[in-house]
Amino acid sequence: MNAIKVHIKSFGCQMNKLDTNLVSASLTQAGFTLTESVKDANVVLINTCSVREHAEQRVISHLGHLKHIKQTMPDLIVGVIGCMAQRLGRELLEHQAVNIVCGPAQIPQISALIAEAIENNKKELAVTDNIRRPAPHQDTDALEKFESACAVTQKQSIPAQAFVRIMRGCNKFCTYCIVPYVRGPEVSRPPQAIIDQIKKLADAGTKQVTLLGQAVNSYQYNAGDKTYSLADILAKTAQIDGIEWIKFVTNYPSEKYFDEILKVMADSPKVCPYLHIPAQSGSDRILKAMNRQYTADWYLGLLERARQIVPQIAVAADFIVGFPGETDEDFNATVELVEKARYRNCFVFKYSPRPGTASEKKLEDTVPAETKQARNTRLLQVQEKISEDLNRDFLGKTVRVLVEGPSKKPHLNAAENDGNPQLAARTATDQIVVFNAQQNLTGRFAKVKITKTAPLTLFAQLTEPLE
Ligand code: SF4
């Protein structure tokens, strides 16, 4: 029999992109072939996200499309993996298009589930029954083996860069968030497994690693004689030859280990001076309703401390607008916080109730859609002005960038474009830089001089490729 061809479509966050890369690697190891085309595929896998309603709606509409395709391709196997699979379980399996439903903790079983679905021509369900109370070590050992086996052979989404998960799940229970219900409680991976994985990635040419966790600064691993924190993982990673840049996302505003983490950043040139630390709101009343364990003033004090320890640090954050009960006054407090925080960039999301979360169960979604939209637009405008000011400071400066590949859309006009291909790169502080180069420098570091700035992009000229 010819190799079974699998097409994978991925929705959602970096954690999901990493899962998609790992699943792709595991399927290749198991003898499946990956294909970019649905028409060419025997199996379509959709890696789903439940964090926002919009993401789930896109998956449902995609399943409708696949149901249609299955009329002409009746043998096509459709599998849904990821957070939505865990959240909806059997309900999703009842969808006409769906053959396999597999939660995030069950992805090591995906090859077997596909083989069984094909062979037995029956629907397959693999999710954790009680995600908040998984049996001791349930799935964790299998996930650890899967992660270690697939991480190094995974195809990187961006050349020379890799995501490395250092922990799974979340214990914070922000009232709007589905993650603790679909990814389970926090489990930190053993430090040696993480370091071994990064060493192998470095040997395979990886130059930048991004350490991932839902609240990555909560990482804590008790090895008996020592308790390891994110600060220890950063320090150990910085000792690995070949790894030049280390980033970590995303951080929950917390005292615990904060200074230690920032001190490693200050001491090691490899740890990028970039801190993504979502505030979510500037209103203490809303923060309390969100079950975020801090006030706006305390949060701003934390940023001040970060800037004292690492003066060149760039800070970024996420915000939710239109949380139940958010008044104009609450929203104005958020605007004020953004103005004071002087973020390098901000991501703004409109609140949508997620079934099963505390806010969905207890709070009415009171803010009208148009108000949410208006607040979203206004907050982005406030941030755009700040980003523009901060980016202007870069004019004329020479910065080191890691090149990600050809720029997706042409940014430079004819007068500025010398006819060479435009490349997109990022600074250590996560700014996008576009420049022209005769050679393909994808996956390499380069030094560029900033010649023009915009709120979201820096434009530059190559001064020297480094390596
Ligand atoms: S910290 Fe809060 S928002 Fe982030 S994953 Fe955990 S529960 Fe969700």
> What does the pLDDT look like over 306-330, one tens digit per residue?
999 999 999 999 999 999 999 999 9
Cβ 189 vs Cβ 234: under 8 Å: no
How many angstroms separate the alpha carbon of residue 82 from the centre of ligand 1?
Answer: 17
113 within 8 A of 130, measured Cβ to Cβ: no
279 within ligand 1 shell (Cβ under 6 A): no
How high is the pLDDT of residue 157?
78
Pairing of strands 167-168, 187-188: antiparallel
Question: Structural domains in the chain?
Answer: 5-126 (3.40.50.12160), 140-392 (3.80.30.20), 398-465 (2.40.50.140)
Do 101 and 124 contact (CB within 8 A), yes or no?
yes
- pLDDT value of position 102: 95
Query: What percent of the chain lies above the pLDDT cut of 90?
Result: 82
Contacts of 240 (CB under 8 A, 6+ apart): 195, 198, 199, 202
Q: What pLDDT shows up at residue 131?
A: 61
pLDDT top residue among 333 and 128: 333
Q: Taking residues 382-388, what's their average pLDDT?
A: 97
Whether 177 is in the pocket of ligand 1, judged by its Cβ within 6 Å, is yes
Q: Give the nearest ligand 1 atom to 177 CA.
A: 8
Q: Which of 82-96, 117-131, 304-318 has the highest mean pLDDT?
A: 304-318
Is ligand 1 within 6 A of the CB of residue 399?
A: no
Mean of pLDDT values over 391-397: 96
Closest among 226, 214, 146 to 186, alpha carbons compared: 214
In this prediction, residues 317-344 reach a mean pLDDT of: 98
134: CA distance to ligand 1 center in Å? Answer: 19
Structure tokens at 188: 């930190």
Ligand 1 close to Cβ of residue 258 (< 6 A) = no
CA 51 to centroid of ligand 1, rounded, Å? 10
Whether the CB-CB separation of 365 and 351 falls below 8 Å is answered with yes
Answer with the residue of higher pLDDT: 271 or 134.
Answer: 271
Residues 6+ apart with CB under 8 A from 110: 23, 26, 27, 45, 79, 81, 100, 102
The pLDDT of residue 87: 93
Reduced 3-state DSSP string for 25-66: HHHHHCCCEECCCCCCCCEEEEEECCCCHHHHHHHHHHHHHH
Q: What is the mean pLDDT of residues 88-103?
A: 94
Euclidean distance between CA atoms 229 and 395, whole angstroms: 37
Residue 416 confidence (pLDDT): 61
Q: How far, in Å, is the centroid of ligand 1 from the Cα of 327?
A: 23
What whole-number distance in Å separates Cα of residue 93 and Cα of residue 77? 12
Q: How far apart are alpha carbons 341 and 316 in whole angstroms?
A: 9
Q: What percent of the chain has pLDDT over 70?
A: 94
In the reported structure, the alpha carbon of residue 181 is separated from the centroid of ligand 1 by a whole-number distance in angstroms of 10
In angstroms, rounded to a whole number, what is the distance separating the alpha carbons of residues 423 and 5? 32
Percent helix, strand, coil in the chain (nearest 5)? Answer: 40, 25, 40
Q: Ranked by mean pLDDT, which of 21-25, 108-112, 144-148, 372-376 comes out on top? A: 372-376
Average pLDDT of the residues of the chain: 92
* Ligand 1 pocket test, candidate residues 14, 214, 217, 293, most atoms within 8 A of CB: 214
Residues facing 164 on adjacent strands:
211
State if residue 80 touches ligand 1 by the CB under 6 angstroms criterion.
no
Pick the closest to residue 23 from 45, 4, 49, 39 (CA basis).
45
Is residue 338 within 6 Å of ligand 1 at its C-beta? Answer: no
- 433 vs 425: CA distance, rounded Å: 5
Residue 156 confidence (pLDDT) above 80: no
- And the tokens for 24? 């792709």
pLDDT digits (tens, 9 = 90+) for 406-419: 997 766 555 566 66
Q: Is 179 in the pocket of ligand 1 (CB under 6 A)?
A: yes
Token pair, residue 130, equals 């009680």
Considering only 34-48, 165-179, 283-297, 396-410, which range has the smallest mean pLDDT? 396-410
Q: To which residue do tokens 């309390």 refer?
A: 288
170: Cβ below 6 Å to ligand 1? yes
Cα of 291 vs centre of ligand 1, distance in Å, is 10
